[in-house]
Amino acid sequence: MAQAAVAPYQDAIDIIKEEGGEICKLCYQCGTCTATCPWNLVRSFMVRKSMHQAQLGLIDFESEDMWLCVTCKWCVERCPRGVEIIDVWRSYRRAIVEMGIAGVPDSIRFTQKNISGVGNPQGEDRNKRTDWASSAGVKPFTKGMEVLYFACCYNAYDPKLIRVAKATAKIMEKAGITFGILGNEQNCCGESIRKAGAEETFKSLVKANIDSFNKAGVQKIVVSSPHCYHTLKNEYKELGGQFEVLHSAQFLAQLIKDGKIKPTKEIKKVVTLHDSCYLGRHNKIYDEPRFVLKSIPGIQLVEMYNNRENGLCCGGGGGRIWAETKKGERFSDMRIDQAIEAKANILAAACPYCMANFEDSVTTMDKGSVLEVKEIVELVAESL
Ligand code: SF4
Ligand code: SF4
């Protein structure tokens, strides 16, 4: 079936309406979204056409296009009619998942199964979530502590990214912050699986996490991932979760401004910052990570061609971090080229998905001798 009419999927229409997908009716077909979408730098992705098909009630649910959007929000920021294009894609994906329509990529199905089964997308042993913390002497959160540190599944399990969680803990210790982590009962924040259409899985994760936070007496949460930040801050309240949430870039900036930490060791490098979509366009946090980098003696901060509001996605949003992207279509490869063109020695990021994608790209592009990929917390920790 090349193009399935919505009509046979009456339940799908209800799901799309519930998710806000009907906002596509505002679209007047200017084509700005297609011209903006980064996919069109590497392949064809006709966002405008998809909005038109949706208006006509014709949606090709089985198309590969259903799973391309990385939810980078660039098109949404530019759409003159205020169409929440991400919500339209999310509504389609939810309809596909819940209706059991063919075409859900295997990677998304496996990720959803892993999250439902063991609370993390990688399918790692639930009892190993806090191994990184035990080896770093980080304690479980107890009532009265100032901060709950929510490290992200990637930083907790990925052997290449555990260093980010450890550096964050080291900085908090140096700053004299009382902090702890939740135990192995903590679940994935759920952001990416929601964007991949698994709404019910998302809701059950959120309810379990809110319950754990409340039982532990958590009030303030520091996160490493902009995806955790976005959902904990903006979406958990839909299900009754109200907490103070700070991304590590904001937290570090505050610690430096308050004089609780002072980077002193010189790092004589040219550094460029990648604006993660969920820190930048989704939450307008552009200045804090730059302030943190500029606070480190010796660092010369340069900008890439795409920066701040015009940042280029790493390719990992919207659940794409779990999907295979063909060589030649990876946004992260373009970002490595941009960092090298800006004459940077270090590409700094503040997101586990961006870190994972950039480290892969540097390796597969064989650029490790000219460009290092570092989390901003690592750079701060090195400078203390
Ligand atoms: S930018 Fe907005 S109005 Fe223009 S084609 Fe895209 S969705 Fe429609
Ligand atoms: S949110 Fe980003 S990836 Fe998705 S359609 Fe818009 S520009 Fe393209």
Q: Domain containing 153 — which CATH number? A: 3.40.50
The residue out of 193, 225, 254 marking a domain boundary is 254
Residue owning the nearest CA to atom 7 of ligand 2: 37
- The CA 28 to ligand 1 mean position distance, Å, reads 6
What would the two tokens of residue 96 be?
């596909």
Q: Which atom of ligand 2 is nearest to the CA of 73?
A: 1
What is the rounded average pLDDT of the residues 70-92? 95
- The CA 153 to ligand 2 mean position distance, Å, reads 25
pLDDT digits (tens, 9 = 90+) for 104-135: 889 989 999 999 999 999 999 999 999 999 98
Same domain, 137 and 248: yes
Q: Which has more pLDDT, 287 or 53?
A: 287
Q: Ligand 2 pocket: which of 30, 51, 73, 330 to mutate (most atoms <8 Å of CB)? A: 73
- The CA 383 to ligand 2 mean position distance, Å, reads 37
Cβ neighbors of 204 (< 8 A, separation 6 or more) are: 116
For residue 99, pLDDT beyond 90: no
Same domain, 235 and 360: no
- The CA 45 to ligand 1 mean position distance, Å, reads 14
Q: Are the CB atoms for 133 and 169 separated by under 8 Å?
A: yes
Task: Count other Cβ atoms within 10 Å, centred on residue 380.
Answer: 26
For residue 5, pLDDT beyond 50: no
**How many domains would you assign to the chain?**
3
The verdict on residue 1 lying in a domain is: no
For residue 63, pLDDT beyond 80: yes
What would the two tokens of residue 247 be?
């991304």
Residue owning the nearest CA to atom 2 of ligand 2: 72
Same domain, 197 and 158: yes
Q: Is 35 in the pocket of ligand 1 (CB under 6 A)?
A: no
The verdict on residue 113 lying in a domain is: no
Per-residue pLDDT at 17: 73
The residue out of 224, 254, 284 marking a domain boundary is 254
pTM for this predicted structure: 0.95
Q: Ligand 1 pocket: which of 24, 28, 36, 40 to mutate (most atoms <8 Å of CB)? A: 28
Same domain, 95 and 124: no
The residue out of 99, 127, 153 marking a domain boundary is 99
The Cα angle at residue 158 between residues 335 and 139, in degrees rounded to 5: 125
Query: H-helix or E-strand containing 87?
Result: helix 85-99
Q: Is 50 in the pocket of ligand 2 (CB under 6 A)?
A: no
Per-residue pLDDT at 6: 46
Same domain, 226 and 181: yes
pLDDT digits (tens, 9 = 90+) for 313-326: 999 999 999 999 99
The verdict on residue 177 lying in a domain is: yes
For residue 2, pLDDT beyond 50: no
Whole-angstrom distance, CA of residue 137 vs CA of residue 98: 43
**Band of pLDDT at residue 9, cut at 50, 70 and 90:** low
What is the rounded average pLDDT of the residues 65-72? 97
Q: Are the CB atoms for 69 and 38 separated by under 8 Å?
A: no
Same domain, 87 and 122: no
- The CA 70 to ligand 2 mean position distance, Å, reads 6
Q: Which atom of ligand 1 is nearest to the CA of 30?
A: 4
Same domain, 243 and 274: no
Closest ligand to Cα 36: 2
pLDDT digits (tens, 9 = 90+) for 210-237: 999 999 999 999 999 999 999 999 999 9
Same domain, 217 and 277: no
Per-residue pLDDT at 8: 53
DSSP code for 116: H
Q: Is 15 in the pocket of ligand 1 (CB under 6 A)?
A: no
Same domain, 16 and 68: yes
Residue owning the nearest CA to atom 3 of ligand 2: 69
Q: Ligand 1 pocket: which of 28, 48, 87 to mutate (most atoms <8 Å of CB)? A: 48
Tokens 């990214």 identify what position?
Answer: 161
pLDDT digits (tens, 9 = 90+) for 251-285: 999 999 999 999 999 999 999 999 999 999 999 99
Tokens 């959007």 identify what position?
Answer: 69
For residue 304, pLDDT beyond 60: yes
Q: Is 71 in the pocket of ligand 2 (CB under 6 A)?
A: yes
Per-residue pLDDT at 247: 98
The verdict on residue 353 lying in a domain is: yes
Q: Is 5 in the pocket of ligand 1 (CB under 6 A)?
A: no
Whole-angstrom distance, CA of residue 247 vs CA of residue 41: 30
The Cα angle at residue 157 between residues 281 and 216, in degrees rounded to 5: 80
For residue 3, pLDDT beyond 50: no
Same domain, 91 and 187: no
257 exposure class (CB count in 10 Å sphere: 0-12, 13-18, 19+): exposed
Q: Is 88 in the pocket of ligand 2 (CB under 6 A)?
A: no
Q: Are the CB atoms for 247 and 147 separated by under 8 Å?
A: no
Q: In terms of residues, how long is the chain? A: 384
Per-residue pLDDT at 10: 67
Per-residue pLDDT at 366: 98
Whole-angstrom distance, CA of residue 226 vs CA of residue 229: 5
* Domain span at 231: 118-254
Q: For residue 300, what are the β-bridge partners?
A: 270
Residue owning the nearest CA to atom 6 of ligand 1: 33
For residue 243, pLDDT beyond 50: yes
